[in-house]
Amino acid sequence: MRSTFMGLETNKRGLYAQQSGLYTTGNNISNANTLGYTRQRVNMQATTGLASQPGLLGTGVQASSIQRIRDSFVDNQFRQESNKLGYWESRSKAISQLEDIVGEPSEYGLQKSLSEFWSSLQNLSTNPSDSGARAVVVQRGQNVAEAFNHIHSSLTEAQANVGKEISFATKNINSLLKQIGDMNGEISRVEASGYLPNELYDQRDLLLDELSTYLPIETTYEKNGGNASSISEGMVTVSLKLKDGNKIELVKGKEPSGTDSMDPIKLIYSEKNLIQGIKINVAGEIKATDETDETDEVAESVISHSDFLNSGKLKSLMDSYGTADGNGLYPEMINDLNKMAKAFAFKFNEAHIDGVDLDNTQGKPFFIAKENEEITAGNISVYQSIIDDPRKIAASNSVGEIGNAENVKDLLETLSFPMNDLKVIIGTLGASGQQAERMAINTATLQGAASNRRDSISSISLDEEMTDMIRFQQAYNASARMITVIDETLDKIINGMGIAGR
């Protein structure tokens, strides 16, 4: 039998449900400009009906849950594109720094120094006995050596800065993994009570978005026990994807891989201080031997640089800094520069030794290493005895003919080698820079498209929220009006019946 006051209870539920809708809409509007906030909606469902004649009589509505509007497929697309963008943005930046260091073509770079050195030798060939012309040759030769030295030291310093950036990146990755593990724990505790911690979900997704710029990750979710809702997300497991298709778990459950005493991810280096790969401390399950004694087994997984997918900011930084296999933007550029300096010095010295100076003495090496080592771009310098006495420049090609300048022609020919080598280096660097910039622009476009798709699903539209506000308001007013009508009906029954004839 239905209750006399059933209508009041039914519409009271309607008031509460529409009120929840209004409050949720207000929360959405308040967070319209909050970074990472996901639009929420109230899931309303009819309450259990009451058996009655002629059929089941409805008992109203209830707000069963407040759920985020999120699409995991679009999230994965966004993170994949963010991962690619992280790689190409970092690579484009590294190549741009290389181009700035090499500084070609410019008025002050190595190419300019070589051209001025060539001009000074050309002037010397017209008057080989002129002490002023000889002094200029020495000075211009020193300028060439200093240009090599400067580029080498700048490259070495820039490489060291990339190493510091890698150190910062790994610390940030470890911090993100720790925060995701902590967030899993908080989410687990709330979900066990039957609630949906939407704000915690949002914070965890922001952490995953940031992590995806560094590493190619895959996420899977595991439901929590207890009284967790069927639409709860559960705890996320974060895995690192490798080139061979394998994966290594970085976060599982409430903790990141590793233990409190060690970072989950640590770079390992070769003997030459180049990156060999990454060591990941993978935590085993905690095994309780008794109530007071627990052990945590930790295994080490070493991933070589070549095992990584070519994506993510960390991989790009590793590619720039240099790896144990000898590859890397900076090591390769330094190696090319060293080869160029060595080859140039060898050919120039070979020609200079064949000549004769103003003292009718066989020529000596013009360029040497500062510490009597193998000549590189970092240690090349002009022989000190020639700096002290420019008469020792071997311009003549024959003993007893110190006035001729035939050997200068041979010296001039050697300058074509570094100029050509420099053009090759600059051309290769420019092509690589164009490719990196083009890929950065393309991936930024794709990431922007994925971001727009995600925003169209999850972000706040004030127009839609205003529409929902009016809809919930009208439904609330209608429920309130129904209560008034039922109240008037009951008043008639209670106060108006049984008084006829009085």
Sheet strands (E) in 350-412: 367-369, 380-382
Report whether 475 contacts 16 (CB < 8 A).
no
Say whether both 77 and 65 belong to one domain: no
Say whether both 419 and 480 belong to one domain: no
Say whether both 393 and 477 belong to one domain: no
In angstroms, rounded to a whole number, what is the distance separating the alpha carbons of residues 197 and 190? 6
- Res 291: pLDDT: 41
Task: Give the number of other CB atoms < 10 A from CB of residue 396.
Answer: 23
Q: Over the stretch 403-454, which tens digit does the pLDDT of each residue have?
A: 788 899 999 988 888 888 888 888 899 899 999 999 999 999 999 999 999 9
Q: Over the stretch 365-394, which tens digit does the pLDDT of each residue have?
A: 999 997 668 999 999 999 999 999 999 999
Amino acid at 199: E
Q: Determine, yes or no, domain membership for 253.
A: yes
In angstroms, rounded to a whole number, what is the distance separating the alpha carbons of residues 37 and 47? 30
- Res 422: pLDDT: 86
Q: Over the stretch 328-339, which tens digit does the pLDDT of each residue have?
A: 999 999 999 999
Highest mean pLDDT among 94-103, 203-212, 300-309, 390-399: 203-212
Nearest CA among 338, 381, 419 for reference residue 155: 338
- Flag the least confident range among 101-115, 129-143, 147-161, 305-319: 101-115
Residue 255 pLDDT > 50: yes
Report whether 56 contacts 14 (CB < 8 A).
no
- Res 454: pLDDT: 95
Say whether both 60 and 78 belong to one domain: no
Say whether both 241 and 341 belong to one domain: yes
In angstroms, rounded to a whole number, what is the distance separating the alpha carbons of residues 72 and 233? 11
Q: Determine, yes or no, domain membership for 220.
A: yes
Report whether 309 contacts 315 (CB < 8 A).
yes
Q: Determine, yes or no, domain membership for 1.
A: no
Buried b / exposed e across 213-224, counting CB within 10 Å, b at 16+?
bbbbbebeeeeb
Say whether both 202 and 336 belong to one domain: yes
Token pair for residue 3?
A: 């209750």
Q: Which residue(s) pair with 221 in the sheet?
A: 236
Sheet strands (E) in 194-293: 217-222, 235-241, 247-252, 255-256, 265-269, 275-288
What DSSP element (H or E) covers 187? helix 131-191
Residue labelled with tokens 């007893």: 400
Say whether both 39 and 160 belong to one domain: no
- Flag the least confident range among 98-112, 342-356, 443-457: 98-112
Q: Determine, yes or no, domain membership for 500.
A: no
Nearest CA among 256, 115, 89 for reference residue 183: 256
Q: Determine, yes or no, domain membership for 330.
A: yes
In angstroms, rounded to a whole number, what is the distance separating the alpha carbons of residues 76 and 89? 20
Residue 256 pLDDT > 80: no
**Nearest 5°: CA angle at 50, between 49 and 51?**
120
Residue 299 pLDDT > 70: no
Residue 287's pLDDT band, with cuts at 50, 70 and 90, is very low
- Flag the least confident range among 129-133, 182-186, 415-419: 415-419
Say whether both 36 and 131 belong to one domain: no
Number of helical H runs and strand E runs in the chain: 11, 13
3-class DSSP state of 393: coil
Q: Over the stretch 234-247, which tens digit does the pLDDT of each residue have?
A: 999 999 999 988 88
Residue 13 pLDDT > 70: yes
In angstroms, rounded to a whole number, what is the distance separating the alpha carbons of residues 103 and 126? 32
Q: Determine, yes or no, domain membership for 47.
A: yes
Residue 51 pLDDT > 80: no
- Res 303: pLDDT: 84
| CA distances from residue 308 to 105, 279, 318, 323, 328 in whole angstroms, order as listed | 36, 12, 10, 12, 14
Query: What percent of the chain clears pLDDT 70, i.e. is strictly above it?
Result: 92
Residue 350 pLDDT > 70: yes
Residue 289 pLDDT > 60: no
Q: Pick the more confident residue, 136 or 3.
A: 136
Task: Give the number of other CB atoms < 10 A from CB of residue 71.
Answer: 14
Report whether 231 contacts 241 (CB < 8 A).
no
Residue 258 pLDDT > 90: no
Say whether both 476 and 432 belong to one domain: no
Residue 295's pLDDT band, with cuts at 50, 70 and 90, is very low
Range of the structural domain that residue 126 is part of: 72-459
Nearest CA among 195, 170, 302, 192 for reference residue 254: 192
Q: Name the region of 265 (left: φ>0; alpha: ψ -120 to 50; beta: rest).
A: beta
- Res 419: pLDDT: 83
Q: Determine, yes or no, domain membership for 502.
A: no
Count of structural domains, the chain: 2
Token pair for residue 178?
A: 């720790």
Per the prediction, the chain carries an average pLDDT of 88
In three-state form (DSSP H/G/I as H, E/B as E, the rest C), the secondary structure along 129-162 is: CCHHHHHHHHHHHHHHHHHHHHHHHHHHHHHHHH
In angstroms, rounded to a whole number, what is the distance separating the alpha carbons of residues 64 and 271? 61
Say whether both 10 and 121 belong to one domain: no
**Nearest 5°: CA angle at 393, between 389 and 398?**
135
DSSP single-letter state for residue 359: T
Residue 75 pLDDT > 80: yes
Chain mean position to CA 235: 24
Residue 149 pLDDT > 50: yes
Q: Over the stretch 457-479, which tens digit does the pLDDT of each residue have?
A: 999 999 999 999 999 999 999 99
Residue 283 pLDDT > 70: no
Token pair for residue 229?
A: 């809702």
Nearest CA among 350, 340, 341, 310 for reference residue 327: 310
Q: Determine, yes or no, domain membership for 372.
A: yes
Nearest CA among 244, 307, 240, 305 for reference residue 270: 305
Say whether both 44 and 126 belong to one domain: no
Say whether both 60 and 83 belong to one domain: no
Give the phi and the psi of residue 285 in degrees, each rounded to 5. -70, 145
Sign, CA torsion 448/449/450/452:
positive
